[in-house]
Amino acid sequence: MTRRIRFNAFDMNCVAHQSPGLWRHPDDRSHQYKELTYWTDLARLLERGRFDGIFIADVLGTYDVYGGNDTAALRQGAQIPVADPLLLVSAMAAVTDHLGFGVTTGTGFEHPYPFARRLSTLDHLTKGRIGWNVVTGYLPSAARNFGAADQLDHDERYDQADEYLEVLYKLWEGSWEDDAVVRDAAAGVYVDPAKVHHIGHGGKHFTVPGIHLSEPSPQRTPVIYQAGASSRGVRFAAENAEAIFVAAPSKRVLARTVRTVRDALVAAGRDRYAARIYALATLVPDATDEAARRKHQEYLSYASVEGGLVFVSGWMGVDLSHYDLDDPIGEVHSNAIRSIVAAFQESDDEGREWTVRDIGRFAAIGGVGPVFVGSGETIADRLQEWAADTDVDGFNLAYAITPGTFEDVVRYVVPVLTERGAYRTEYEPGTLRDQLFGAGDRLPDDHRGARYRLGAPDSTVLPDELSREPRQAVAATG
């Protein structure tokens, strides 16, 4: 049977998300990120292309690792200025019916209580099309602006994220019963208090005794996305994620990453295919291979190696301005994104060692994923070959220019894959989770979040008689 390929669009509320320098291209509209019409036009386009969703990245700091300050990042517009990802969703949801929304927020910067409500609100407003990309952060500049001297240690950030998710699962899955809202006009009862439960959470980082503020939304827990690829990150993803973003510069590294992730899903007691895996890639299609090659060359003429190094320094947590451009990357220790360091410490698919210049040039279009250039047929061949050889479910598509790259994908690549039976011909009905797995709107019973449902083993819900006592009494027992 022909293997089906899925697409996600990768964007961010800023200019030239993963293509530093390309904001100078005359056809790039990324500087219009401040206008709703940029986002609503893009959402319509992606839905026309039957993408699974749009994934909106975010950081809460500047890329000030390169050169030890934020001068180069600002000059390059390297994900700065950057605006809020969540506020874009309602507008895009209003002009689409099926497109999913994967929004990124970090677990280190906001208390889970108001965050739980914001995502429930978006799940209601999108009719169940919201996903959350759980990130633990990697920029020390973000931590500093929240009052810390530095970010927590790499693995500790994941430990804290574990508890963050525990609080959220308790609020989303265990607080309100499905039939709690009765809207009984005759009896004058809007909510049946017996069906709303105080979650009773007390942990190392958070104390949340009360109820969730929102009533149950179509999916309750949003689709959980994750992109950590270190060994601790993979364990976290395997326990929580339903969609996993991976990024690797070569097919060999990608295949190994996917195998590791799928093995980890099994080790976490889940099915090998319980999470959809999307690999980062940038496509440069045109009517012919030759036209696409010319277009790629033109894009490269705008790409900024310095901008690429600003990003990679931030991702690696290593100031690459100290290296000679022709130095190999060698042995470095990272407290940022360990998997990216490891990926570049391997030779590329041709067996060459990566130098600092190679990395800067490579990352200047589409970050650390491959760039496929050619006609729709040529690119479809590559995507099908990579999917078959690496076992990914699909691709998370960065852009060289926006929306031009996505227009080209919808125009040249989607029809070829569809013709080959490798791409969906229409959206299935239902929520984002149902679109991804065809197994309903809610988390499956073998997912970690299900353990916090009312009556499930890890529920800490307070007994009714305690939670409905006058507040004084509850405080005394808590």
Ligand X SMILES: Cc1cc2nc3c(=O)[nH]c(=O)nc-3n(C[C@H](O)[C@H](O)[C@H](O)COP(=O)(O)O)c2cc1C
The response to whether 158 counts as a known ligand-binding position is yes
- The DSSP code for 423 is S
| Cα–Cα distance for residue pair 128/35, rounded to 1 Å | 25
Residue with tokens 């509320």: 13
Which residue in 33, 73, 81 sits closest to 304, CA to CA? Answer: 73
The response to whether 230 counts as a known ligand-binding position is yes
If the CB atoms of residues 106 and 174 are measured against ligand X, the closer one turns out to be 106
| Cα–Cα distance for residue pair 423/436, rounded to 1 Å | 13
Q: SS3 sequence, 88-123?
A: HHHHHHHCCCCCEEEEEEECCCCCHHHHHHHHHHHH
- What are residue 461's phi and psi, to 5 degrees? -55, 135
The response to whether 217 counts as a known ligand-binding position is no
Tell me how far, at minimum, the Cβ of 366 lies from ligand X, in Å: 10
If the CB atoms of residues 104 and 304 are measured against ligand X, the closer one turns out to be 104
Tell me how far, at minimum, the Cβ of 92 lies from ligand X, in Å: 17
If the CB atoms of residues 29 and 157 are measured against ligand X, the closer one turns out to be 157
Question: What does the block give as tokens for 298?
Answer: 């033109």
If the CB atoms of residues 244 and 303 are measured against ligand X, the closer one turns out to be 244
Tell me how far, at minimum, the Cβ of 35 lies from ligand X, in Å: 21
Which residue in 294, 370, 473 sits closest to 18, CA to CA? Answer: 370
If the CB atoms of residues 260 and 347 are measured against ligand X, the closer one turns out to be 260
| Cα–Cα distance for residue pair 139/101, rounded to 1 Å | 24
If the CB atoms of residues 151 and 217 are measured against ligand X, the closer one turns out to be 151
Tell me how far, at minimum, the Cβ of 31 lies from ligand X, in Å: 20
Sign of CA dihedral 333, 338, 344, 349: positive
Check if the beta carbon of residue 93 is closer than 8 Å to that of residue 218: no
Tell me how far, at minimum, the Cβ of 112 lies from ligand X, in Å: 17
Instruction: Show the CA angle centred on residue 471, arms to residues 469 and 474, nearest 5°.
Output: 70
Question: What does the block give as tokens for 286?
Answer: 């045109």
Tell me how far, at minimum, the Cβ of 73 lies from ligand X, in Å: 15
372 Cβ contact partners less than 8 Å away, ≥ 6 residues apart: 281, 282, 283, 284, 378, 379, 382, 383
If the CB atoms of residues 10 and 176 are measured against ligand X, the closer one turns out to be 10
If the CB atoms of residues 92 and 461 are measured against ligand X, the closer one turns out to be 92
Tell me how far, at minimum, the Cβ of 313 lies from ligand X, in Å: 15
Q: Which residues bind ligand X (CB under 6 A)?
A: 57-59, 104, 106, 135-138, 227-230, 233, 245, 247, 280, 337-339, 396
133 Cβ contact partners less than 8 Å away, ≥ 6 residues apart: 55, 57, 102, 103, 104, 105, 225, 226, 227, 245
Tell me how far, at minimum, the Cβ of 109 lies from ligand X, in Å: 10
286 Cβ contact partners less than 8 Å away, ≥ 6 residues apart: 292, 294, 295, 374, 375, 408, 412
If the CB atoms of residues 139 and 380 are measured against ligand X, the closer one turns out to be 139
| Cα–Cα distance for residue pair 250/248, rounded to 1 Å | 6
User: DSSP E strands: which ranges in 185-242?
Assistant: 189-191, 201-202, 207-208, 223-226
| Cα–Cα distance for residue pair 171/306, rounded to 1 Å | 44
| Cα–Cα distance for residue pair 141/148, rounded to 1 Å | 10
Tell me how far, at minimum, the Cβ of 282 lies from ligand X, in Å: 12
List, as residue ranges, the binding site for FMN: 58, 104, 154, 158, 230
Detail the residues annotated as belonging to a binding site: 58, 104, 154, 158, 230
